[in-house]
DNA sequence: TATGAATGAGCTTTCATTCAT
DNA sequence: AATGAATGAAAGCTCATTCAT
């Protein structure tokens, strides 16, 4: 792993576990096994580093979602895919995703605006799928917006507790959450692992992970 | 409001919005309209203040849950109550609850252990209700533990976005979430506002809020 | 013991053991079992308290020396008396004397000048006795000034280690030091406890101690 | 002089004159002509700096004494050497020695224990010489322990008043004190400057001073 | 590429002191 | 006589960042 990669990895790890404000430049340097002065060869300011992590993480998520839902009209299939992708990303990349979910308030106003815009762009996919499903009468929910927020929080929570060392395989996790989400939307159908095969492939490709069950 | 109360309120507000590490003693002093030296008449260290907030918040939640579920054997009723209480607490006290949910990592090891023990004690109520419902064949979930975590995250998320100024009344919010939760648990039944009346009363009592629809 | 006395005693104890700068107002308050605000009923500033302790301690020493050497022309007798008084004062009042000996640098310039003047006045008794003894050819020392300083340091050191709980009685201590001092001055004669009886009485009177061997 | 050396020199000077608690970080920075932040490149905590000064000072003293008394059986010679070394060290390095003698109480318990152990190791040389002299009937003292303490205090006092700018040369000072000490021990013999030549050399070597009469 | 040295600004916390009650 | 409340100033120490080498 190059020095630049070590810096980024250190930032992801520490921002995720100790928070942006709880992580010092010296902590980053120690984690990356560099001097604190050397860090500045690989980053701008500390905030730049945070922005970069958040931006690339969200862009990847948007990229993955765009790829995985392209050409699918069925809202149920799209929803299943969105949930699976979200959960897989949060389980496989808990560092990045926790940073995105928890450290938005640490950004300065202009950077926050850009990050929030990306997040909104991402959430549009969810909103659209729910709206379409409601219009098609396959989803039944009195409060589509609230339901969307509830689903997103439910799925994002995975990053807080999932461990690849535990008994639950990634694909089972994704399958389970996809089912829960469809239940929430009033469309309780079984989801099979093979329905999500494409999601796993997209995730592996976008996040550059080895293609295997548990990444 | 006394100085001591102003200090606590300032801490809740700022810890919730800017995070523990992102909040300086001077920020607290300014928010509480006191000098930073005077703060120390009303608190120990900054961490003591955090611990106090987390502890009382969790104790209240446990207290509320104990009161509201006492004497109820039906797992569906208990679950409905747990969800409603959780959502109401997070919507009515978003500051405290966000601090509890987000700042555990800011605690020193011994304090963290105590807080986590309280949180575990609270979650036992959820685990028990889900287990009982599954045993009684009214809940259907292949992964009870995962489902519990998913529900908790879903409900806690309310503290991140709910606003009493929005169109959604607290009781509608609670009703909606109770329904979503029962759907997640494979027991999709309608929930009526009157089913949750007792919850509203317990919340009003435990958090010392005025008894009215929107608190 | 009155509050005023408790304040003074607390200051003597803490200034002696932790130093003036190492002792906080809150330490004094705790030791005196008063609130820190109440302290200020019994003292001016912290420095005033220090000055008062040093001044009364030195004035008592001067008073004692004046009383005990009055009417004695013999330099050997005077020297014996000076040493005995000094050692007894330092052994019986180690707090006050340590403060006087160690905390002069903590004083502001004007206060220091006054205290140093008193100390000089006291040391004049030693200088005079040594000069007279040298003139009378009973003391033999090539460096009278150095010898005086050496003797003073030797005797003051008692306050750092003597304990009344140890095996050495005060009168034996004084006798021993008187002999050592006369040896230093080239006049090695035995000193008997009864030679110092008057010293013990003067010390008991000036410091208001119970008249007994060990005070 | 390097920055690191300036920091140490500043600490010695200020701790000696104003005391540890009376010296602020900003005072040290000003004296060392560095910013207060920069100080922390060259030290750990303020206490670490104090410990370092005390430890190296005592280790040097022990080193010097071991070197200078090696191979000497005669208690009189050893005593003469101990006194001369002690006095020379205190006169030539008044800063370090005053810090060692006066600031032990400023140390935390574990650091104090280590420093006191070193001091005890040093004082063993004195105790041994006095015991041996008494056993050989060349020293006559009824209270060997008290006498040792008296001598140490007498000699340490030099650091409080000796100035190389005064009329007294270092070697005369040492000679005079050696004679006083032998008088105290009941062995009043003349000491010649040439008896102490080796001591001067050892001091010059251990403290890295230019070899000349007045250093 | 890498870092030791450096720093102004800031951190949390304590300081000695005052004052209304 | 006694104190809780209050504070400006200062304490020891760390911050993110720069720069010469």
Residues in B touching A157 (Cβ below 8 Å)? 149-150, 152-154, 156-157
pLDDT for the residue A213: 58
Give C-chain residues touching D21 at CB under 8 angstroms.
18-19, 21-22
Q: Is the pLDDT of residue A100 over 90?
A: yes
How far is the C-alpha of B143 from the C-alpha of B135, rounded, in Å? 13
Contact (CB<8Å) B184/A183: yes
Question: What are the domain boundaries of chain B?
Answer: 1-43, 46-206
Q: What is the mean pLDDT of residues C8-26?
A: 98
Q: Say whether A17 and B147 touch across the interface (CB within 8 A).
A: no
Q: What is the pLDDT of residues B150-187, one digit of tens each?
A: 999 999 999 999 999 999 999 999 999 999 999 999 99
With 90 as the cut, is the pLDDT of residue C215 above it? no
Q: What totals of helices (H) and strands (E) does chain D contain, helices first?
A: 11, 0
Cβ of A146 within 8 Å of Cβ of B176? The answer is yes
In sequence order, which ranges of C46-196 are alpha helices (DSSP H)?
A: 46-69, 75-92, 94-102, 109-135, 144-156, 158-161, 170-184
Is the shortest CB-to-strand distance from D3 to strand E under 7 Å? yes
Mean pLDDT across the stretch A81-101? 97
For the cut 80, the answer to whether the pLDDT of residue A211 exceeds it is no
Residue B59, both tokens: 């104790």
What is residue D80's predicted lDDT score, i.e. its pLDDT? Answer: 97
For C:162-181, CB contacts with D below 8 A are 168, 173, 176-177, 180
Amino acid D212: pLDDT: 64
- Quick one: which residue's CA is nearest to F2's C1'? C38
Measured between beta carbons, the chain D residues lying within 8 angstroms of C147 are 176, 180
| A150 in reach of chain B (CB within 8 A) | yes
Among the partner-chain residues A22, A149, A172, the one whose CB lies closest to the CB of B21 is A22
Which of chain F's bases lie under 7 Å from a protein CB?
A: 1-20
The answer to whether the beta carbon of residue B24 comes closer than 7 angstroms to any atom of strand E is yes
Q: Which nucleotides of E are covered by protein (CB under 7 A)?
A: 1-20
Count CB-CB contacts under 10 A for residue D22. 18
The closest alpha carbon to C160, from C207, C97, C203, belongs to C97
Q: Is the CB of A40 under 7 A from strand E?
A: yes
- Nearest nucleotide, CA B37 to C1': F7
CB-strand contact A45/F, under 7 Å: yes
Q: What proportion of chain C, given as a percentage, has pLDDT over 90?
A: 95
| D chain contacts of residue C180, beta-carbon cutoff 8 Å | 147, 150, 184
Distance CA B100, CA A76 (A): 35
**Cα distances (angstroms) measured from residue B211 to each of B60, B87, B201, B203:** 17, 17, 7, 9
CB of C111 lies under 7 Å from some atom of strand E: no
Q: Is the pLDDT of residue C95 over 90?
A: yes
- CA of B2: nearest nucleotide by C1' is F5
How crowded is residue A8: how many other Cβ atoms within 10 Å of its Cβ? Answer: 21
- Determine the CATH number of domain C45-206: 1.10.357.10
CB D138 within 8 A of CB D77: no
CA B153 – CA B97 distance, rounded (Å) = 12
Q: What is the mean pLDDT of chain C?
A: 95
Q: How many angstroms separate the CA atoms of D85 and D71, rounded?
A: 16
User: Does domain A46-206 correspond to CATH entry 1.10.357.10?
Assistant: yes
Judged on CB neighbours under 10 Å (0-12, 13-18, 19+), D185 is buried
State which fold the A1-43 domain adopts: Arc Repressor Mutant, subunit A (1.10.10)
- Neighbouring CB atoms inside 10 A of D211's CB total 10
Task: Give mean pLDDT, residues A58-71.
Answer: 95
How many Å apart are CA A104 and CA C202, to the nearest integer? Answer: 78
Q: How high is the pLDDT of residue B210? A: 79
Which portions of chain B are predicted below pLDDT 50?
Answer: none
Is there contact between D45 and strand E, defined as CB under 7 Å from any strand atom?
Answer: no
Q: What is the pLDDT of residues D148-197, one digit of tens each?
A: 999 999 999 999 999 999 999 999 999 999 999 999 999 999 999 999 99
In the prediction, which pLDDT does D86 show?
A: 98
Inter-chain CB proximity B106 and A19 less than 8 Å: yes
Query: Average pLDDT, stretch C153-171?
Result: 95
d(CA D185, CA D214) in angstroms, rounded, equals 28
What pLDDT, on the 0 to 100 scale, is given for residue D210?
79
pLDDT digits (tens, 9 = 90+) for A170-198: 999 999 999 999 999 999 999 999 999 99
| A55 Cβ nearer than 7 Å to chain E strand | no
pLDDT for the residue C214: 61
* CB pair distance less than 8 Å for D180 and C147: yes
- 8 Å CB contact of C21 and D21: yes
Taking only the tens place, the pLDDT of each residue in C109-139 is 999 999 999 999 999 999 999 999 999 999 9
Size of interface C-D (CB pairs under 8 A): 89
**CB C36 within 7 Å, strand F:** yes
Interface test with B, best of A91, A144, A183 (most B CBs within 10 A): A183
Residues with pLDDT less than 50, chain D: none
In angstroms, the CA C174 to CA C195 distance is: 10
The gap between A20 CA and E7 C1' (Å) is: 23
Nucleotide nearest to C48 (CA to C1'): E16
Q: Mark yes or no for CB contact C156/D153 under 8 Å.
A: yes
Nucleotide E8 C1' to residue D37 CA (A)? 9
């Amino acid at each position: 792993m190059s020095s630049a990669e070590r810096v980024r990895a250190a930032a992801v790890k520490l921002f995720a576990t100790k928070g942006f404000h709880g992580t010092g430049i010296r902590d980053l340097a120690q984690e990356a096994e560099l001097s604190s002065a050397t860090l500045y060869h690989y980053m701008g300011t500390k905030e730049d580093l945070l922005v970069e992590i958040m931006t690339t993480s969200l862009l990847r998520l948007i990229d993955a979602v765009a790829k995985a839902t392209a050409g699918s009209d069925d809202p149920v299939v799209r929803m299943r895919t969105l949930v699976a992708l979200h959960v897989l990303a949060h389980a496989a990349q808990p560092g990045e995703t926790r940073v995105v979910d928890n450290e938005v308030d640490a950004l300065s106003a202009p950077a926050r605006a850009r990050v929030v815009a990306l997040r909104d762009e991402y959430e549009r996919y969810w909103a659209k799928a729910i709206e379409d499903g409601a219009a098609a009468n396959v989803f039944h929910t009195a409060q589509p917006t609230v339901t969307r927020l509830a689903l997103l929080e439910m799925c994002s929570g995975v990053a807080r507790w999932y461990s690849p060392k535990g008994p639950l395989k990634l694909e089972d996790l994704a399958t389970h959450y996809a089912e829960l989400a469809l239940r929430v939307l009033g469309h309780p159908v079984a989801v099979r692992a093979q329905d999500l095969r494409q999601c796993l492939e997209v995730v592996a490709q976008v996040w550059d992970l080895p293609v295997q069950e548990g990444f």
